[in-house]
């Protein structure tokens, strides 16, 4: 795809590509002022209601750490037949390889630093190129990218993002959910021991999320992530909130942002997400063919 080639060039040129993207966005902004919030929300709603067959599935999933971006993005990936690309997985795959970036990435991660925009763009462009050439992939669902307006501008300059789904969940529920996460040290599967049953108050919705319990053979092998402490989780959420607002505003101004408040766990949220994305028929066809 031509977008992949442009993305590769953007990764190679770094700051120049970003500056060009910014100039492009500035020019567009001067010609077409961003719609007011109400108009932007309406545009996002109209976008989501278009039939799936008429849509270009090049989507971005935003949301706080632990909200479930990976869970819902991967389900939609299987439903729509497009790859779910998580930048965290791209970094982990590169770290496990003998590629040229592995040593550089290891040093960055070990020092607790943020991976640069240039490295993320490089990894993403490699993944898109490989998918197109080896598997004939068309479309994608991005998870964990873009994290900054700079990244959004680079991405906007090289490919046409169709829709940005922003998953939202009460912060007190998010914290409880993150503290309940466990990983089986043997099979590597993720579970959650938290049974969340929060009453609605002060204008916030009631939320119920059943625990995702492991089978008996995994119970004694569960591990808590070292960074899943209340202090670390709260700090992660604060950092995310500070960084995400400009990105949300960027896509809201383009009429591409679809806000989705999770009403509960997967059984409660999945059908409603399919409804707002106008994909109920898509799942019925998938189930009928299974």
Nearest one of 29, 31, 5, 28 to 17, comparing CA atoms? 5
Residue 236 annotated in active site:
yes
Choose the catalytic residue: 75, 170, 181, 182.
181
Choose the catalytic residue: 170, 177, 236, 252.
236
Residue 225 annotated in active site:
yes
Can you list the positions of beta strands (E) in the chain? 58-63, 84-86, 140-143, 163-168, 181-184, 190-192, 196-198, 207-209, 222-223, 257-261
174: phi then psi, degrees, rounded to nearest 5:
-60, -45
What's the Rg (C-alpha) of the chain?
20
Residue 23 annotated in active site:
no
Query: Which tokens in the block code for residue 169?
Result: 């969940």
Report how far apart, in Å, the C-alpha atoms of 266 and of each of 210, 213, 227, 273 are.
9, 14, 24, 10
Asked whether 157 and 9 are in contact (CB, 8 A), the reply is: no
- Torsion over CA: 220, 226, 227, 231 (sign): positive
Q: What is the DSSP letter of 53?
A: G
Residue 234 annotated in active site:
no
Choose the catalytic residue: 55, 75, 126, 147.
147
b/e map 226-246, b = 16+ CB within 10 Å: eebeeeebeebbeebeeebee
b/e map 44-72, b = 16+ CB within 10 Å: beebbeeeeeebebbbbbbbbebbbbbbb
The secondary element (H helix, E strand) that includes residue 20 is helix 15-31
- Which residues are identified as catalytic? 69, 147, 181, 225, 236
């Amino acid at each position: 795809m031509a977008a992949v080639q442009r993305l590769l060039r953007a990764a190679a040129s770094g700051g120049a590509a970003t500056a060009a993207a910014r100039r492009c966005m500035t020019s567009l902004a001067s010609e077409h002022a961003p719609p007011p919030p109400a108009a932007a929300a309406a545009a996002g709603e109209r976008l989501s209601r278009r039939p799936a067959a008429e849509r270009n599935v090049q989507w971005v999933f935003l949301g706080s750490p632990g909200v479930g971006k990976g869970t819902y993005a991967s389900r939609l990936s299987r439903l729509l037949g497009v790859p779910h690309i998580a930048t965290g997985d791209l970094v982990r795959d590169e770290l496990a390889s003998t590629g040229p970036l592995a040593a550089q990435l290891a040093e960055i991660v070990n020092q607790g630093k943020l991976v640069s925009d240039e490295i993320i763009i490089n990894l993403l462009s490699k993944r898109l190129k490989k998918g197109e050439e080896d598997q004939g992939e068309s479309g994608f669902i991005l998870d964990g990218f873009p994290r900054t307006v700079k990244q959004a501008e680079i991405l906007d300059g090289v490919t046409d993002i169709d829709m940005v789904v922003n998953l939202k969940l009460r912060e007190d529920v998010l914290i409880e959910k993150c503290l309940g996460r466990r990983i089986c040290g043997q099979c590597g599967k993720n579970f959650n021991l938290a049974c969340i049953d929060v009453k609605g108050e002060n204008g916030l919705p009631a939320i119920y999320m059943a625990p995702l319990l492991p089978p008996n053979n995994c119970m004694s092998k569960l591990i808590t992530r070292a960074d899943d402490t209340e202090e670390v989780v709260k700090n992660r959420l604060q950092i995310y909130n500070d960084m995400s607002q400009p990105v949300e505003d960027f896509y809201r101004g383009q009429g591409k942002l679809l806000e989705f408040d999770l009403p509960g766990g997967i059984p409660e949220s999945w059908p409603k997400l399919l409804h707002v994305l106008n994909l109920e028929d898509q799942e019925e066809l998938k189930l009928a063919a299974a």
